[in-house]
A and B are shown apart, each in its own frame.
Chain A
């Protein structure tokens, strides 16, 4: 039997994602598996409920991206009742959503991606965390992150209606409009979010891009996969988080598919493995060929890097400049380097902030026409948004009264599940030889995992810790070594 290395986050919720790496007899990596726990009975829980409850139920699935679920769900309801929201409602929804992207992307970069790059992947574990980042960038910057996030959250709370989970989405519109006083106040927040996003890109430049060691790391083969990419785009094929069509490009960067949300079932199929509860979506037209790269494999990736790879550009000027620069530095489109997603994330944060400014300059955003009441009989609806971590699909079926008969959700971590396993396996294979494993090596493997910022579909809590336990087992299963971190 092969040796086994397990990266096993133990939380008090007893079921975070687990990565298991199997070594062969020579101590080299044979396979890696990515498992998530099964949350049981969601469809059953929803069946029999009115579909309008979904924008309040689904945000509870995930405590990290409630706004994304709320928005995808609301759009699914629009489609379910075949009702078009008035323009003002769309502006308000997109404003809430872009404020959320700014807030979440900044949170991610400084508290998760930052420790890897700003502090450095070889730094000791005690420094490779948010306090280490603050030590490097300074308290002022950290204070700015807190302030921008707080002000964005105020926008979401004011327009969305609740502290953590917005509740404003209705089929055909939203439940609350915006006053002129709010518009002016939020416009100031948007401007400071733009300034901060530019500043964050400057930090990336100074600390990461000017460091050849980091750039080599980003571009190394260990962290690269030639996969397909998926994301939402507007009518000009530019990144849009809130609305648009789904576009897929191949490893060569050429368009492989473009479809309206309602058509997704014709393009995406879900593969099942006996060892994992999570399904593995793949491109139907290409087919499932296993956990492998290349144009012949239907595996695709979502999230910031994927979105930029899929698009022909960014819809706002400063973000467009940043986008062009990234591809120039990294050698053209598409970029296959997984770690570049941290860079793409900051470019998206800049676009989101610029888009907030645009939306708030639109005179119609303070109009009172915020809802069109549905008149059609419901049967089926699909809503797709780009969550911070990737494409999010909500699909509902109801009877003629709007009572749910079927629910299917594909979350970002679903789309990325196969890529995550592949990324971890490849990194492990490149770094673990002859059974030799060190703490530093494990962190390098985790970097591949963390770049996807997987969301394990459970509201997480404050108690306890999320340690990683790595168990190194001999061929006969005996525990040789246990490395505990965090």
Chain B
């Protein structure tokens, strides 16, 4: 790891999502509840609607990161909550190829950050709490029922990560 730490490890919790596209906002809803229940000097809470490089901009400088986001997979059902690490994300992709500026994946963005000498969390210091969702194409500030019901479980999952260090 780069350098010696002169401070207590800083953790970033990022709630990702679009809060006006129904289930797409679940990450932000979860973040707000976690932030309300956890006040620690070494933990920063951020809401972000960004991905790839712009997310790298947000994560750089922290020792640990917990990312909360919506996910759609072929096998899952809305309301499932997954705990993922970078290796899980890497298994989903095979290259850094991009068709647009916003399509760079998280593992790629982090690898890029490391290659550029930015201080980004190590593989063992980054966790993704992902909630399987149903509707991300309709404008609404509320989640669908199954996803809304999953918020408390996702909140507990994040808090467990924070307590576990």
Contacts and interface: CB of A to CB of B under 8 A. Distances in A.
Interface of A: 9, 11-15, 37-42, 44-45, 57, 60-61, 63-64, 66, 104, 107-108, 111-112, 115, 125-126, 128-131, 134, 139, 142-143, 146, 149-150, 153, 163-165, 446, 449-450, 453-456, 458-468, 484-486
Contact of A60 (B49, B57, B93, B130): B49
A207 to B, nearest CB: 19
B113 to A, nearest CB: 9
A287 to B, nearest CB: 31
Interface in B15-67: 16-21, 24, 27, 46, 48-55, 57-58, 67
Greatest chain A CB density within 10 A among B27, B98, B99 is at B99
A42 B139 contact: yes
B102 A464 contact: no
Contacts of B24: 13, 458-459
7 smallest beta-carbon distances between A and B, as pairs = A465-B93, A462-B106, A129-B96, A45-B139, A459-B18, A466-B103, A486-B97
A15 B128 CA distance: 22
B89 interface: yes
Interface stretch (B3-11, B68-76, B144-152, B157-165): B68-76
A115 to B, nearest CB: 7
A127 B54 CA distance: 22
17 contacts: A12-B73, A13-B24, A45-B139, A63-B54, A139-B117, A163-B46, A163-B58, A450-B100, A461-B16, A461-B27, A461-B69, A461-B70, A462-B51, A462-B109, A464-B89, A464-B92, A486-B94
Contacts of A143: 116-117
A247 B140 CA distance: 36
A384 to B, nearest CB: 23
Given A107-B53, A125-B95, A131-B115, A63 B18 contact: yes
Interface residues of B, number: 57
A139 to B, nearest CB: 7
Contacts, number: 178
Nearest to A45: B139
Greatest chain A CB density within 10 A among B50, B51, B70, B100 is at B100
B140 A466 contact: no
A38 B102 CA distance: 19
Contacts of A66: 49
B10 to A, nearest CB: 16
A133 B67 CA distance: 28
B106 A463 contact: yes
Contact of B100 (A15, A37, A42, A453): A453
Contacts of A464: 71, 89, 92-93, 105
Contacts of A149: 57
A153 to B, nearest CB: 7
Greatest chain A CB density within 10 A among B20, B93, B101 is at B101
Contacts of A63: 18, 49-51, 54, 102
B104 interface: yes
Contacts of A456: 100
